[in-house]
Amino acid sequence: MQRLQHLQQHVAPGAAAEEENWLSAERRASLEEAPSGLRLTLHDSMEELPMDAPGKTWARINIPYSDNRAGWGTKFVPACLVNGDQPGQSALLMAGNHGDEYETEIALMKLARDVDPATVVGRLIIIPVLSMDAAHAFARCWPEGSGSEGTNFNRAFPGAPDGDTAGLLAHYISHVLFPDVDVVFDLHTGGNSMAMFPCAHMHLLPDDEQRNAMLESMLAFLTDTVFIYMDVRHTITLGVRVAFF
C-alpha cells in the first residue's frame, strides 16, 4: 500500500516519460558533486563511449540484462578513457577477464586513477574489470545471476549481437573497441588455480605482420620470461614455447 501511495504521489497517469526524465536528471545532477577534475558520464547504449572526449573521462559500458529481479536491467562495466595532450596511437588495456585475477584488476584501477593526460601520447582505454559478476563472486567464470552462468569469458569471443550477457560484451569489445585501437593488452594472473611469476605472452597467429607486431609489444614489457601460445582445436590454449631472456 505504501508503495502504491508513493507512485500515486509522484507519477501522474501518462507521465511515465516525464518521471523517467526526472530520475535521469536527478541521477546526473548527483554526479556534479564529484571532486574537481573528475568527470563521470552516463551513456544509454554500448556504442556511445566518449572516445574523443578531452582529458580523462570515467564512463561505463552498459549491457542490457533481464531476469526475475529486473525486467529492464543493465549490467555495468566501468571504463576510463584518457586522451593525451599529444596525438598518437590508441591502446586498449583490459583486466578481470577472469574475475578472480585481482592483481591486474587493481593495477589497472590504480593506473586509471593516477594517469595524467598530460603524460599520455595518444589514447588509453582502460577497462579494469571485464567480468564484474565473477569478480564479486571471487570466481574465474561468470556465476549464477550474471546472465551467462558458467561462462569462461576468455572463450566468449568474438561474441554475438543477439547473444547472452557475455556474448554481448564480447561482441562489443571485438567489433567496436578492437577496430578503434592500435594495440590491445589483456592482463591476466593465476587466479584461484595457480601462482604466476611476472611474464608476457601472446597467441601464435598465422598472419606474419600481426604476429610480429604482437611480438614487439610482448617484448616491450621487458619481462624475464615470455610465453607464446598456439590454439588447439580452437577452444583450448596450451603454452608451446617458453623463452628466457
Q: What is the pLDDT of residues 161-213, one digit of tens each?
A: 889 999 999 999 999 999 999 999 999 999 988 888 888 988 888 889 988 98
Question: Is the alpha carbon torsion for 106, 163, 182, 115 positive or negative?
Answer: negative
CB atoms under 10 Å from CB of 191, counted, come to 18
b/e burial code for range 62-73 (CB count within 10 A of at least 16 → b) = bbebeeeeeeee
Q: What is the pLDDT of residue 115?
A: 95
| β-pairing verdict for 200-203 and 225-232 | parallel
**What is residue 96's DSSP assignment?**
-
Residues of the chain with pLDDT under 70: 1-48, 231-245
Cis peptide before 78 (omega within 30 of 0): no
**What is residue 156's DSSP assignment?**
S
Show the domains of the chain with their CATH numbers.
Answer: 2-244 (3.40.630.10)
Q: What is the CA radius of gyration of the chain?
A: 21
Q: What is the pLDDT of residue 41?
A: 40
Cell numbers for 197:
611469476
- 138 vs 191: CA distance, rounded Å: 9
Contact between 121 and 86 (Cβ < 8 Å): yes
Q: What is the pLDDT of residue 167?
A: 94
Contact between 56 and 114 (Cβ < 8 Å): no
Q: What is the pLDDT of residue 136?
A: 95
Contact between 80 and 57 (Cβ < 8 Å): yes
- 172 vs 28: CA distance, rounded Å: 25
Q: What is the pLDDT of residue 110?
A: 96
- 62 vs 76: CA distance, rounded Å: 5
Contact between 92 and 79 (Cβ < 8 Å): no
